[in-house]
């Protein structure tokens, strides 16, 4: 039998494959076993904090930590192959264990892991064909915007950027050619909230085959499950909260439709972007501590958001009652996350604050155990040109804080010192307030 990487063509060869190897897609391509929860289905379903940690494997030595199968190839039992694994590009036991575990915690039937969050989006975009239309937000992660721009220019994809925080604006551009709706919530860095159920209903009404795709990186499966809200595909950068330590790059895709899972597996196998065994093991280890990390990060973020708001800064964080979509966010999510942004009203002032911080590392990305600070328009969103940023009402002075697990008092003291050193506040005997109050 042909290996998953060699392929065959024609109806007869496809039939032979189906007979010899049951895990094949509609075109006769070999597939690894469809992932099932690594915890038993029968009996009690545990709370998510338990499910994150609890996993069962089939290791011959009953290792409590899944072994790393650091091998590129697997010996076969016959000349025609037929073993569960043959080549790590197509499948690896360590990766399969991780995928089954992620499917469980993401409320999915199948999860797939690849080399980065952008690789995950690239795999998803390969479902599209020239002439297909994509509706997405006007506050989109810079890397996602860059990939969509490339596909629009070179792949014949039509892209509509709209304010996804208003479902009716999305509905206005939906039509039978809309093949995908790509959402982020909260958006990054403007922290806008998107009504996933309502937009999903609009999209499926306009085109029953439309794929509602949600980037859930900002929330993680601990706080939000888009598949339970009407989404067809959910993906995340595993580099962020799922890993939590910024010592690996990974992307995760999750679906409930087995056929859709097969369609997504094909380009992963064909292009070789599946996650490596060692990174799969690292990600599996990181996922187990997701709750304890996120609980501390959220608690810290709440205190820091309240600190900044109380001193006159315009803060964007869904944990604040002042957020215009506070109720909507908490109708979908189980927490506010640990990313917030605030404005100073002056670009140079923001630059001085960022450069004056000590505990807050100047860095792109988020979700790490240590706290990060950045100016998105200079870093993570710099690939979006200034004209487009202005059209999308992206404040050039905005500062993004990605809160870690450090002591909250230390983080606030360091931020207070940076604000004073940068001249961002007026200090008096009664305390200090922003030089440019949010009301301005």
Q: What is the Cα–Cα distance from 43 to 219, expressed in whole angstroms? A: 29
Catalytic residue among 104, 192, 240, 291: 240
Stretch (H or E) spanning 316: strand 314-316
CB 313 within 8 A of CB 306: no
What is the DSSP-derived secondary structure letter of residue 34? P
Q: What is the Cα–Cα distance from 368 to 30, expressed in whole angstroms? A: 37
Catalytic residue among 89, 95, 100, 263: 89
**Which residue has 């501590």 as its token pair?**
289
Q: Which of 348, 391, 398 is nearest to 373 (CA)?
A: 398
CA dihedral in degrees (353, 357, 361, 367; nearest 10)?
-70
Q: Which of 179, 149, 151 is nearest to 161 (CA)?
A: 149
Q: Which of 190, 195, 275 is nearest to 236 (CA)?
A: 275
Interstrand relation of 425-428 and 431-434 (parallel, antiparallel or unpaired): antiparallel
Alpha helix (H) residue ranges in 224-380? 258-271, 277-287, 290-310, 326-332, 347-356
Catalytic residue among 85, 141, 265, 317: 141
Catalytic residue among 25, 132, 138, 215: 215
Q: Which two tokens stand for residue 323?
A: 């957020």
Distance of CA 331 to the CA centre of its chain: 20
**215 annotated active-site:** yes
**141 annotated active-site:** yes
**240 annotated active-site:** yes
**89 annotated active-site:** yes
CB 157 within 8 A of CB 132: yes
Instruction: Give Cβ neighbours of residue 214 (< 8 Å, ≥ 6 apart).
Output: 183, 184, 185, 196, 226, 231, 233, 234, 235
- CB count in 10 Å sphere of residue 75: 8
CB 239 within 8 A of CB 117: yes
What is the DSSP-derived secondary structure letter of residue 275? P
Phi/psi for 37 (5° steps) reads -55, 135
CB 19 within 8 A of CB 82: no
Strands (E), 34-162: 110-114, 133-137, 158-162
Phi/psi for 425 (5° steps) reads -135, 150
Alpha helix (H) residue ranges in 3-92? 11-20, 48-53
CA separation, residue 22 to residues 30, 68, 84, 109 (Å): 8, 26, 11, 18
Residues recognised as catalytic: 89, 141, 215, 240
């Amino acid at each position: 039998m042909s290996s998953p990487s060699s392929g065959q063509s024609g109806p007869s060869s496809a039939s032979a494959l189906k007979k010899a190897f049951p895990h094949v897609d509609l075109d006769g391509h070999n597939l690894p076993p469809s992932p099932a929860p690594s915890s038993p289905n029968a009996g009690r379903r545990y709370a998510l904090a338990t499910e994150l940690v609890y996993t069962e494997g089939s290791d011959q030595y009953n290792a409590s930590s899944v072994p790393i199968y650091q091998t590129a190839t697997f010996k076969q039992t016959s000349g025609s192959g037929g073993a569960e694994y043959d080549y790590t590009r197509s499948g690896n036991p360590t990766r399969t264990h991780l995928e089954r575990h992620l499917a469980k915690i993401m409320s999915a039937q199948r999860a797939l892991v690849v080399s980065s969050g952008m690789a995950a989006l690239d795999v998803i975009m390969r479902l599209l064909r020239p002439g297909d239309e994509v509706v997405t937000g006007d506050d989109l992660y810079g890397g996602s915007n860059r990939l969509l721009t490339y596909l629009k220019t070179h792949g014949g994809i039509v892209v509509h950027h709209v304010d996804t925080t208003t479902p009716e604006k999305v509905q206005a551009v939906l039509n039978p050619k809309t093949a995908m709706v790509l959402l982020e919530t909260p958006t990054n860095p403007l922290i806008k909230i998107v009504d996933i159920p309502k937009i999903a209903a609009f999209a499926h009404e306009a085109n029953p085959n439309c794929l509602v795709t949600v980037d859930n990186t900002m929330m993680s499966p601990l706080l939000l499950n888009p598949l339970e809200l009407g989404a067809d595909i959910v993906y995340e950068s595993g580099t962020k909260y799922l890993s939590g330590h910024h010592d690996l790059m990974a992307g995760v895709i999750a679906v409930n439709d087995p056929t859709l899972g097969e369609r997504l597996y094909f380009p992963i196998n064909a292009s070789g972007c599946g996650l490596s065994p060692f990174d799969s093991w690292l990600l599996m280890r990181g996922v187990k501590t997701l709750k304890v990390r996120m609980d501390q990060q959220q608690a810290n973020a709440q205190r820091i958001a309240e600190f900044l708001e109380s001193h006159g800064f315009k803060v964007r964080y869904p944990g604040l009652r002042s957020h215009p979509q506070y109720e909507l966010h908490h109708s979908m999510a189980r927490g506010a996350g640990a990313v917030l942004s605030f404005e100073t009203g002056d670009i140079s002032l923001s630059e001085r604050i960022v450069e004056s911080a000590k505990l807050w590392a100047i860095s792109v990305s988020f979700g790490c155990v240590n706290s990060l600070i950045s100016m998105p328009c200079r870093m993570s969103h710099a690939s979006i040109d200034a004209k487009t940023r202005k059209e999308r009402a992206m404040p050039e002075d905005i500062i993004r804080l990605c809160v870690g697990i450090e002591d909250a008092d230390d983080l606030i003291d360091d931020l207070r010192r940076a604000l004073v050193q940068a001249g961002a506040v007026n200090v008096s005997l009664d305390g200090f307030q922003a030089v440019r109050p949010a009301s301005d």
